[in-house]
Structures are given as C-alpha cells and as structure tokens.
Amino acid sequence: MTPPVADTPTRIQVGGTAGTAPYEVLIGRQLLGELPGLLGAAKRVAVLHPEALAETGEAIRQDLAEQGYDAVAIQLPNGEEAKTAEVAAYCWKALGQTGFTRTDVIVGVGGGATTDVAGFVAATWLRGVRWIAVPTTVLAMVDAAVGGKTGINTAEGKNLVGAFHPPAGVLCDLAALDSLPVNDYISGLAEIIKAGFIADPEILELIERDPAAARTPAGPHTAELIERSIRVKAEVVSSDLKESGLREILNYGHTLAHAIEKNERYNWRHGAAVSVGMVFAAELGRLAGRLDDATADRHRAVLESVGLPLTYRGDQWPKLLETMRVDKKSRGDLLRFIVLDGLAKPTVLEGPDPAVLLAAYAEISR
Ligand SMILES: NC(=O)c1ccc[n+]([C@@H]2O[C@H](COP(=O)([O-])OP(=O)(O)OC[C@H]3O[C@@H](n4cnc5c(N)ncnc54)[C@H](O)[C@@H]3O)[C@@H](O)[C@H]2O)c1
Ligand SMILES: O=C(O)C(=O)C[C@@H](O)[C@H](O)[C@H](O)COP(=O)(O)O
Ligand SMILES: [Zn+2]
C-alpha cells in the first residue's frame, strides 16, 4: 500500500528583509517529513515538548534517530509552568550533557508556552543555535511560533526575560488541533480576533457569520482563519522584527492581559486575558475619543460569541496598574497602550489621563 500523500501545504514567508534571514511557515497536514530539510548540518537534535505531548515528542525523537540524528527528547511542564528560569536551566543542563554544538538544532513541539521556552533556550545556548517550531495549539500556530519573540516569566511579570530569535521554520500541522482541549482552542481565537481588529476585518466577518463553527477545528473556515492571522503576523514582524515601531500593534490588548495573567498566577489562559485586555483597550480608545462606538461594541459581541471573557474583578485595579508599569511598551514612567483609531487602524496612546484609564477599567469591571 502506498502511504497517504500529504496535501500541498500553504507556505508563508517571514523575514528576509532588513538583514533578517527568511524562513517559512507551513500550514497543512503530515508536515513532519519537512523537518529533516530544516535541520541543516545538525548532528544532534533536542526535541522539547510538554508533558501532554510526551508521545508526540518521543515519536519525533525516534523518527529523527532512525534517520541517523543523535536525537534527545526533553520533557517540559505543561503550559505556563514551563516558562521559568529553572526550566530553562534544566534544558541548558540537558544540552550540555549531550554535547550540543552550534550546528545542532532545537525543535519546540507544543503550545506557545513550549515554543517560547524552546526558542529562548535556542537563543541563549552558545549565544544562539538554530531552532524549529512545531506549534500544536491554534494560538501557537497563529502567533507564538511566528516572529521570533522568545522568553520566560519572572516573579515580577510576564515574558520579562527573553530574546528576539526567529526560528528556521514553522510547521503548523492542523491535525494536532484535534486533540486540543476546547478551552485552549477558544483561547487561540482571541489572537485570531486580535489580528482581525488590528489588520484584517475579514477574519471578524468569518467568525461573526458562524461563531459556533469558529469554536472547533472542524469548522469550515479553520484553515483560512489560521492562514489569515499568520499573514498578519508575518507581514508585521517581517518589517519590524525587534519591535522598534510597527510590531507594537501585535500587543493590542496585552498591556492589561499580562497584568491579569500575573494576578491570576498564570491560571488564566493567555487568550482569555487578551480577550478582556482587548475590551479594555477598545473602551480606552472610545473614551480617548478615537474609536467609534460601533467598533468598540463589536469587540464584546465577537469575543462573547465564541465564549471568551469580557470582564475582570473590579477591586484589582491598583495591583494591575502597578504591574502594567513594567510592560515592555512603557518608557520610563510613561504608560503606553495600543488602541484603535478605527477598524484596522491601530495606533499608540501614550500616557493616558489616569481618570480615563480608571473609567475604561470601570467598563470591564465586575
Ligand atoms: N512569542 C510570541 O510571540 C507569543 C505570542 C502569543 C502568545 N505567546 C505565549 O504563548 C503562551 C500560550 O500558548 P498556548 O495558548 O498555546 O498555551 P500553552 O502552550 O500553555 O498550551 C496549552 C495546554 O495545551 C497543551 N497542549 C498543547 N498542544 C496540545 C495538543 N495538540 N493536544 C493536547 N494538548 C496540547 C499544553 O501542554 C498545555 O497544557 C503564553 O505563554 C503566551 O505568552 C507568545
Ligand atoms: O509578537 C508580538 O510582538 C506580540 O506582541 C504577540 C503577542 O500576542 C504575544 O503574546 C507576545 O508574547 C507578547 O509579547 P510581550 O513583548 O508583550 O511580552
Ligand atoms: Zn499574545
């Protein structure tokens, strides 16, 4: 019997401008055959995966070993628990013990937390080795695995230590989404909706036409939603890898979201926090006189329609405000937020009046 032939994957190029190396994001099925072609001169390959994907990680390791690579699997805790200095140090130790050199390659297989750590370990080991992302959540496919932001959390906040270190390739195998718990799937929709509001309103229309279908990988528009979101991200990071300007728009909703995640000790999913953060940013835009009522209200409608949260605890504002001061967009004492001037017109709001901030928070408080 002949093995099933993989559908031709969609290929999206990222980078290749302003001195950055180009790489491709592949979207399709049965893409692991593409992995060896991305390994360059590697002799050793370390496959970093979360506990939940132990079987997948081991299968990839074994496949690479059968092809002659000296392959090791390094298991990380699930989700955000992996984004710590201790876990990074554990990975550095494992790489040291396998004699990992500059031509060897790290493969990060998992959700955004895993790819963030895998990329960070790759960025720091020997001051930078090649890495490949194999995202297995919708959020990691459309956002985390693309663009080269890597990092870990510290006690003071989210992603406070990291590096810009783009992968050599990104393999988005849509089949991985079938095993994803529904709430993790829905969490990823927040970043897709973000891409819709900041750049591609067709995304919003696709979801609004059938929100129930958008909540499942079996929906008719899954591949299109993923592809459109990746194209938004690819275009932005290709022109501003290191976030010296335009890239900040990808942070829409994230200033408050990261503060909520820390406040919840990372027991809230990233996408859920981003959802509340976007409603807050929409209210901020509206109160600052920039965003029209219809577009601000549209945030609540579309996010709620797929089951994402819109509100947060009213009594937490002082703590959240304090955390937001160490947001990476802050400059000295100046708080900076991404808001919309209109649909798909993101802009920066610098140093908003504290009364306006509080009023925006009142709109999302419960
Ligand atoms: N670097 C970036 O540009 C960027 C962008 C967006 C988000 N992020 C980061 O991504 C993280 C969130 O990523 P996420 O939403 O993918 O969550 P996650 O990585 O925490 O994964 C969610 C859970 O699903 C499990 N899992 C992963 N794939 C699975 C699969 N196919 N089947 C079953 N279980 C699976 C994981 O082990 C975990 O328990 C956050 O840390 C966020 O800060 C980074
Ligand atoms: O790629 C970016 O740039 C983003 O801001 C994408 C975000 O969705 C992502 O959550 C990112 O990790 C946030 O970055 P941070 O610099 O605010 O930590
Ligand atoms: Zn995000």
Same structural domain for residues 30 and 123? yes
Q: CB of 147 closer than 6 A to ligand 2?
A: yes
Ligand 1 pocket, residue 84 CB under 6 Å: no
Q: Does residue 324 line the site of ligand 2, with CB under 6 A? A: no
The alpha carbon of residue 229 and the mean position of all alpha carbons in its chain are separated, in whole angstroms, by 11
What was the pLDDT predicted at 6?
A: 53
Catalytic residue among 44, 49, 231, 233: 233
Candidates 166, 129, 176; CA nearest to 32 is 176
Residue 50: CATH number of its domain: 3.40.50.1970
Domain annotation covers residue 5: no
pLDDT in tens, 83-127: 999 999 999 999 999 999 999 999 999 999 999 999 999 999 999
From the candidates 24, 80, 191, 283, give the one annotated as an active-site residue: 191
Are residues 185 and 175 in contact, defined by beta-carbon separation less than 8 angstroms?
no
Q: Which of 55, 117, 139 for a ligand 1 pocket mutation test, highest count of atoms within 8 Å of Cβ?
A: 139
Report which bound ligand comes closest to the CA of 150: 1
Is 115 labeled as ligand-binding?
yes
Are 128 and 29 part of one and the same domain? yes
Instruction: Tell me: do 99 and 188 sit in the same domain.
Output: no
Q: What is the pLDDT of residue 149?
A: 98
What was the pLDDT predicted at 17?
Answer: 77
d(CA 271, ligand 3 centre) in Å: 7
Q: Is the backbone of residue 102 left (phi > 0), alpha (psi -120 to 50) or beta?
A: alpha
Among the listed residues 264, 268, 271, 281, the one whose alpha carbon sits nearest the alpha carbon of residue 361: 281
Is residue 306, in this structure, part of any structural domain at all?
yes
Residue 221 among known ligand-binding residues: no
Same domain, 29 and 60: yes
165 flagged as catalytic: no
Per the domain annotation, does 229 fall within a domain? no
Answer yes or no: is the C-beta of 191 below 6 A from any ligand 2 atom: yes
Query: Any binding-site annotation on 8?
Result: no
Choose the residue to mutate in 32, 78, 249 for probing ligand 1, maximizing ligand atoms within 8 Å of C-beta.
Answer: 78
The DSSP code for 13 is E
User: Which pLDDT score, from 0 to 100, does residue 20 have?
Assistant: 81
2 part of a folded domain: no
Complex prediction ipTM: 0.99
Residue 174 shares a structural domain with residue 195: no
60 shares its domain with 174: yes
Closest Cα to residue 251, out of 225, 269, 228, 233?
233
Mean pLDDT by 10 residues, the chain (366 residues): 61 87 96 96 98 98 98 98 98 98 98 98 98 98 98 96 98 98 98 98 98 97 98 97 96 98 98 98 97 98 98 98 95 97 98 96 97
148 in the same domain as 101: yes
Q: Which helix H or strand E contains 27, and what residues bound it?
A: strand 23-28
Kindly state whether residues 206 and 117 are assigned to the same domain: no
Are 147 and 210 within one domain?
no
**Domain limits for position 279:** 182-216+244-364
Of all protein residues, whose CA lies closest to atom 12 belonging to ligand 1? 112
**CATH number (domain holding residue 303):** 1.20.1090.10
State how far Cα 22 lies from the chain centre: 19
Distance 112 CA to ligand 1 centre (A): 4
Ligand 3 midpoint to CA 287 (Å): 24
Q: Which atom of ligand 2 is nearest to the CA of 191?
A: 8
Residues 118, 151: contact at Cβ < 8 Å? Answer: no
223: in domain: no
Residue 327 CA, closest ligand 2 atom number: 17
Stated pTM of the model: 0.97
Q: Is 86 a catalytic residue?
A: no
Q: Is 216 annotated as a binding residue?
A: no
Same domain for 166 and 209? no
CA angle 82, 89, 270 (to 5 degrees): 20
Residue 239 forms part of a structural domain: no
Question: What per-residue confidence (pLDDT) applies to 146?
Answer: 98
328 is catalytic: no
- Same domain membership, residue 267 and residue 248: yes
Per the structure, the count of domains in the chain is: 2
- Judge whether 42 lies within some domain: yes
Q: Flag whether 273 is in a domain.
A: yes
Whether residues 15 and 64 fall in one domain: yes
